[in-house]
Amino acid sequence: MGVLKSFRLPVPVIVVGNLTVGGSGKTPLVLGLLERLREQGWQPGIISRGYGGTNQTIQSVTSDSLSSQVGDEPLLLARRTGVPVFVGRDRVAVGHALLAAHPECNIIISDDGLQHYRLQRSVEIAVFDARAAGNRQMLPAGPLREPLRRLSEVSAVVWNSTPMAVRDSIPVNVPTFSMHLIGQKFHRLGDTSQTCSTDDLQGKRLYALAGIGNPTRFFAQLEALGLVFEAHPFPDHHRYHAVDLAFAHDGVLLMTEKDAVKCYGLVMSEAWLLPVEAQLDALSDGRSLLTIILEKLDGRTLA
């Protein structure tokens, strides 16, 4: 509305966020977009608030960072991508810090931050999972941070395993994409060079934990792989202690990649994590989400 001042970074900014509280699959989407942009010759950096971390200052995230300080999702992104990742409350300042330390970066992806209006952006992507908009009420009566009419302002909407009936009930006048998270090969906690398949896990006593926005999404994925297990959901961004994982002492523990960055050194039994990749369908005219993004970048139209 022009009442408060906003700031534009010297490079394009893509914001991947949501209108609801809780996770919706943003981080896998960020990973997928980053790889597609690198294939196109871009050199991205990632900024994040670092939710769940205790650090109060701007900080660079490396593979050796502590999730308790920088947050679980930024640490996952840093380990998976190798690109510069910076965290901090003020994303404008975080963006400037990243670019000062890594002037080779010519585009920034913000993991979350749809409501951080101080930072101007070239592209906005809103992500929903199977829970969609819930009861469609604003906080605290419902899960919405902003009203659904906000969707008319974003560049695209991504439905992460959202039932078609739910999608059809939410009017959207921007490009929409279906996304599914694909993962079949497990990696050993503490030594990701070791892998196993679902066949290797058959006949074992299996436990599964998930401390993500929607734990049932991970459990459903394991069930779709044909695994039988005992499910243990935890709150999103849960900070684990050894006692939290004691239930799996007599079996094999399965977890998400996001949980794995916090569980190393705490599990005494055999444990495996399941990395996932975002798979998006194209529009009816053949355009991909990357195409929409590149069109926006060419126009440099700030959302």
pLDDT one-digit tens code per residue, 132-147 = 988 999 999 999 999 9
Check: CB of residue 234 under 8 Å from CB of residue 255.
no
Residue 193's H or E segment, with its range, is strand 191-196
Query: DSSP secondary-structure letter at 53?
Result: -
Residue 177's H or E segment, with its range, is strand 176-182
Residue 81 banded pLDDT, cuts 50, 70, 90:
very high
What mean pLDDT do residues 217-240 have? Answer: 95
Mean pLDDT of the chain: 93
What mean pLDDT do residues 38-53 have? Answer: 92
Token pair 């101080």 is at which residue? 118
Q: Which two tokens stand for residue 41?
A: 């010759």
Nearest CA to 274 out of 201, 205, 204 is that of 201
Cα(249)–Cα(191) distance, integer angstroms: 19
pLDDT at 146: 94
Token pair 């006593």 is at which residue? 205
Q: What are the two backbone dihedrals, phi and then psi, of residue 68, each rounded to the nearest 5 degrees? A: -65, -20
Residue 95 banded pLDDT, cuts 50, 70, 90:
very high
Alpha helix positions (H), the chain: 26-39, 67-70, 72-81, 91-101, 164-168, 198-201, 215-224, 257-263, 289-299
In one-letter notation, the amino acid at residue 220 is A
Token pair 């609801």 is at which residue? 20
pLDDT at 51: 82
Check: CB of residue 158 under 8 Å from CB of residue 126.
yes
Residue 299 banded pLDDT, cuts 50, 70, 90:
confident
pLDDT of 171 over the 80 cut: yes
- Higher pLDDT: 3 or 179? It is 179
pLDDT of 303 over the 60 cut: no
Cα(286)–Cα(139) distance, integer angstroms: 37
The answer for 59, left when phi > 0, alpha when psi is -120 to 50, beta otherwise, is: beta
Q: What are the two backbone dihedrals, phi and then psi, of residue 48, each rounded to the nearest 5 degrees? A: -155, 155
Share of the chain above pLDDT 70, in %: 98
Which of 21-25, 110-114, 116-120, 203-207 is least confident?
21-25
Residue extents of the structural domains in the chain: 13-180+280-299, 184-275
pLDDT of 199 over the 90 cut: yes
Cα(37)–Cα(257) distance, integer angstroms: 22
pLDDT of 273 over the 50 cut: yes
Sign, CA torsion 303/144/89/238: negative
pLDDT at 302: 43
Check: CB of residue 97 under 8 Å from CB of residue 86.
yes
pLDDT in tens, 7-31: 999 999 999 999 998 778 899 999 9
pLDDT in tens, 230-257: 999 999 989 999 999 999 999 999 999 9
Percentages helix, strand, coil for the chain (3-state, rounded to 5) are 30, 25, 45
What mean pLDDT do residues 204-221 have? Answer: 94
pLDDT at 56: 81
Beta bridge partners of 254: 208, 272
pLDDT at 3: 67
CATH number of this structure's domain 13-180+280-299, picked from the four choices 3.40.50.300, 3.30.420.40, 3.60.15.10, 3.40.1280.10: 3.40.50.300
